[in-house]
Amino acid sequence: MKSTLRTLALALSSSALFSGAAVAAETYTVDNGHTAVLFFADHFGFSKVVGRFLQTSGEFAIDGANPANSKISLELKVDSLTTNDGKRDEHLKGPDFFNAKQFPTATFVSTGVKKAGDAFDVTGDLTIHGVKKSVTVKVKQNKKGQDPWGTTRTGFDGEISLNRNDFGVSGVPPIPADIKLWFSVEGALKK
């Protein structure tokens, strides 16, 4: 998949998290119930098939004083993929596409974070179908604050476009190979 997973959207746009505010690094645990990772695939020009990975885990650390020290690590359970069509889901999870039995997870692990205007360029290793590629995702940070129960939270949004063939997810040839991956990740501050 080419490198258009563009916005794994580490939505690190809020200045409070990555700006020069003198704050020690904060580590957040990904909240699966408030995180969405979607993909969009063209269906012969008729429509877009929308899929979602229902099980996401990981953590991210934000260093407000030095964004270069910030990190993110995400894991998607491939078998949790759904497109709202059971037969299609089984085909996508099978050997023609993701091969979830052999490659049960897809991961992103950052290797660098740079401020880019009001957003951040997050470079990291994206591994899908056992193939690891370096990609850069532009992300914007969302609000940072306390939820009604007193837990500090923040999140980020992003998207990227990929060519699935770059990751060995060949599938059926007439189906276009370019895929858009969009995400909105929320995390709870670790105590």
Cβ–Cβ under 8 Å, residues 32 and 56: yes
| pLDDT at 11 > cutoff 50 | no
For the segment 13-60, what is each residue's pLDDT rounded down to a tens digit? 333 344 334 456 899 999 999 999 999 998 888 999 999 999 999 999
For the segment 134-161, what is each residue's pLDDT rounded down to a tens digit? 999 999 989 999 999 999 999 999 999 9
- To the nearest whole number, what is the mean pLDDT of the chain? 86
How far is 84 from 52, CA to CA, in rounded Å? 9
How confident is the model at residue 85, as a pLDDT? 96
How confident is the model at residue 45, as a pLDDT? 85
How confident is the model at residue 62, as a pLDDT? 85
How confident is the model at residue 5, as a pLDDT? 34
| pLDDT at 2 > cutoff 70 | no
Bridge partners, residue 148, by sequence: none
Cβ–Cβ under 8 Å, residues 18 and 62: yes
Chain Cα centroid distance, residue 20: 25
| pLDDT at 129 > cutoff 50 | yes
Among the four given CATH numbers 2.40.128.110, 3.20.20.70, 1.20.1050.10, 3.20.20.140, the one describing domain 15-189? 2.40.128.110
How confident is the model at residue 170, as a pLDDT? 78
Domains of the chain by residue range? 15-189
For the segment 96-114, what is each residue's pLDDT rounded down to a tens digit? 889 999 999 999 999 999 9
Residues 6+ apart with CB under 8 A from 112: 68, 122, 123, 124
